[in-house]
Amino acid sequence: MKIKTISDFQDLLDSDFAWRQKEISDLKKVVRRSNTDQSMLIRSGTALVYAHWEGFVKNAAQAYLEFVKGQKLNYNQLSDCFVVLGLKKKINHLKEAKKTNLNIELIQFLRKGLTERANLQLRGAINTESNLRYHVFENILITIGLDLEAYETKKNFIDTELVNRRNEIAHGEFIRIDYNDWLVLVDDVLGLIRQFKTDLENAASTELYLVS
All structural domains of the chain with their residue ranges = 6-73+129-205
Q: Among 76, 50, 10, 6, which Cα is nearest to 186's?
A: 50
Where would I find the H helices in the chain?
Answer: 6-33, 38-70, 80-96, 100-112, 134-144, 155-156, 165-170, 179-205
pLDDT, mean of residues 25-30: 96
Q: How confident is the model at residue 6 (pLDDT cuts 50, 70, 90)?
A: very high
Phi-psi region of 78 (alpha: psi -120 to 50; beta: other; left: phi over 0): beta
Q: So what's the pLDDT on residue 7?
A: 96
**For the chain, how many residues are written?**
212
- At 101 the pLDDT is 67
Q: Label residue 118 exposed, middle or buried (CB < 10 Å: 0-12, 13-18, 19+).
A: buried
- Residue 13's φ and ψ, nearest 5 degrees, are -65, -45
67-125, pLDDT tens digit by residue? 999 999 999 999 999 998 988 766 666 655 566 666 677 777 777 778 889 988 898 99
- In this predicted structure, what is the pLDDT of residue 112? 76
Identify the pLDDT of residue 51: 97
Secondary structure class of 117 (helix, strand, coil): strand
Beta partners for 78? 210
Query: What pLDDT score does 92 carry?
Result: 66
| 193-204 pLDDT tens trace | 999 999 999 999
User: How far apart, in whole angstroms, are the C-alpha atoms of residue 27 and residue 82?
Assistant: 38
- Among 77, 44, 40, 54, smallest CA distance to 212 is for 77
Q: How far apart are CA 206 and CA 103, in angstroms?
A: 37
Distance CA 71, CA 120 (A): 11
Per-residue pLDDT, 99? 64
pTM of the full predicted structure? 0.91
Any idea what DSSP says for residue 163?
Answer: I
Average pLDDT over residues 33-50: 91
Task: Determine the 3-state secondary structure of 78 from DSSP.
Answer: strand
- Say what the pLDDT of residue 93 is: 63
In percent, the amount of the chain with pLDDT more than 90 equals 75
Per-residue model confidence as pLDDT tens digits over 124-140 = 999 999 999 999 999 99
Reported as a single tens digit per residue, the pLDDT across 157-176 is: 999 999 999 999 999 999 99
Handedness of CA 62, 67, 72, 77 (dihedral sign): negative
pLDDT band at 178 (very low <50, low <70, confident <90, very high): very high
Count Cβ atoms below 10 Å from residue 198 Cβ, excluding itself. 12
Mean pLDDT, range 44-64, rounded to an integer: 97
Does residue 186 contact residue 24 with C-beta atoms inside 8 Å? yes
C-alpha to C-alpha distance for 64 and 71, rounded to whole angstroms:
11
